[in-house]
Structure formats: structure tokens, C-alpha cells
Amino acid sequence: MSDSKSQQSSEVPTLLVRDSNNSELLCFLEQIVPINNIEYVLLTPVDTPVCLFHLLDEGDPELIKTIEKKEPVLEVADVVLQEHDLRLIRSAVTLTVSGELEEPEPEELEEKDFDDESETYELLVSFKVEEEEYGLYIPLDPFFVVGKLEDGQATVVEGDEFDKIQPLIESELEERDN
């Protein structure tokens, strides 16, 4: 993973994008999509995005969709990741991990299909907090962030605005591919 990231970083410009909470995420600029005289941008995080799951004794792990930045679970995750020379970053939009991630051998890859959207994840680390087990998983599907450029600044497109603009961006990108 680190080789492709370093190759990509030398070829693709980066943008610092902010969300409504003023949290930041450094991203590669993948596409600029002008719609109604506004420049929307399709971005991918520079660091590796991760999702936090509560690992249950029975059934599929449960995705934790909203989490406070000072959550004790994240403090434990920080310590576990530091043992692997990795760092958890509480970024805009998603949690990310920075550091050199080792490429797993294909036979060692523990892929899990869970979540309603049947996304595929790879377990990065698991750990316990107060007898509850958690895991940080890397989504194997591409992780895109939609932003808006205004006055040289990039902001994350969220909520209702995202719901309205997403189909227009998808339509524009489909037209470009044809």
C-alpha cells in the first residue's frame, strides 16, 4: 500500500478539506466537477481510512457510525496502533491511520463482508476496552470524499447538500467516461 501511495503523491495534487466541525483531512485531488458555476471536487484521503467496529460474540461486527474524538475506545486504539508504528488521526469525514502499512499476503488477507451495503473490509487491529472487543478495519472499496472549492478553500459537502449534489456529480462523471 505504501508504494502506491508514494507513487500517487508525486503525481496527484493534494488538498486540505475541512468539515462543518472544522476538522481537517488531507486528500488527493482526483477530479474537479463544475456544476452550476461551483467547483466540486472528488477526493481520496492521503492516509488510510479506517472504520471502527464493535465485535460481537455472535453475528456480524457492528459499525460504529458516529464517535466522539475523545472517546476512550479511540485512546486504546491509539496505543495499539503505536505498537505497530501507526498513528490514528481523528480526521474530517473518517478516522484515518498514518504510517507504513504492510501489504498483506493474499493468503493472509482476512476479508470480511459485513455491513448493509456489503462492503468488504480488512482487519487492521482488534483490541478490548472494558471486556468489549473492537476492531479497526480498512475498507477495501475506494473511499471518496466530495468537497466544494470556494475562495481557494475546500470544504466537505455534507448532509442535504451532499444528497442533492451526489447524483449530479455521478451523472457528470458518467458523461465524461462516455
pTM for this entry: 0.78
175 occurs within a structural domain:
no
**50-98 confidence digits (pLDDT tens):** 999 998 878 788 888 887 777 889 999 999 999 999 999 998 889 999 9
Radius of gyration of the chain (CA): 17
Checking phi first, is residue 11 left (phi over 0); if not, alpha (psi -120 to 50) or beta? alpha
164 occurs within a structural domain:
no
79 occurs within a structural domain:
yes
Domain that holds residue 6: 2-158
14 occurs within a structural domain:
yes
Cβ–Cβ under 8 Å, residues 48 and 101 = yes
176 occurs within a structural domain:
no
To the nearest whole number, what is the mean pLDDT of the chain?
84
pLDDT attached to residue 113:
52
Total count of domains within the chain? 1
**96-110 confidence digits (pLDDT tens):** 999 887 765 555 445
173 occurs within a structural domain:
no
Checking phi first, is residue 168 left (phi over 0); if not, alpha (psi -120 to 50) or beta? alpha
